[in-house]
Structure 1
Amino acid sequence: MSALNGTWTLEKSENFDEFMKELGVGLILRKAGNMVTPTLIISNQGNKWSIKMRSTFKNTDDDFNLGEEYDDETTDGRKVKSLYNLDGDKLICEQRDRKTRALQVTAVRSVNEEGKMIEVKLINNYLKVL
């Protein structure tokens, strides 16, 4: 079992509007994204993982196997190929454009010393959100 298993509610977000703007998300969708307080429900059994995101704006369900790329649609509607892997206690997701295969976003989730889940997102491997 992973330390990430459980229910996590957003407490704070830094630079999220800039992150979404960099991805080309429009103003209305960015405003909505900045107003919601999503809850993530993460579970796993071996290499099989489930991440459910619940919010007043949109709900998503991602079920995947570590190391297996799959077709995905992001909350903002981008069509990507997602690939999850573990690096120690960090769950890392790479999202690539389905057509060009260009890396768009890398998301790294881990649990800190205080028992809080931290998610760091990078665009094209440049740190954008802390």
Structure 2
Amino acid sequence: MKFVILALVAAVAFAEKPYGSVGSSEEAEILQHDFDLQDDGSYKLDVKTSNGISVSQQGRPEGPEGAVVKSGVFSYTAPDGTPVEVKFVADAGGYQPDSDLLPVAPEFPHPIPQFVLDQIAKAAEEDRNRSPEDRYSYA
């Protein structure tokens, strides 16, 4: 539980930095900080700052060996002005963020571009044309 509180304090400390205010050296003010910790170890946190950073999460010790399972959302404005919102769950499956801004790997198997296939064929042809003593020398 101490780790959760320390992590929350660190998150609030970083939230005070004017990350969402591009080019601003002005410190952000905490507009809202609600933290409700229950006797059973469950908690709810809501933080909002003057530069647009927002955090809302809740958790409870439901995981293996009392590990805290949590979920929530945080948002801010990126330096280029893009609004960022990330929903997340952290449980036995690890940290699982969800956002339209996160990269998505292509489905596999995906088509291999022709230029890659051509390069593979060329390398295989060069290997076949090497003399036996040069096959393992790449100098």
TM range (shorter): 0.3 to 0.5
Larger-Rg structure: 2
- Structure of higher RCO (CA pairs closer than 8 Å, 6+ residues apart): 1
Quick check: which one's strand share is greater?
1
Quick check: which one's helix share is greater?
2
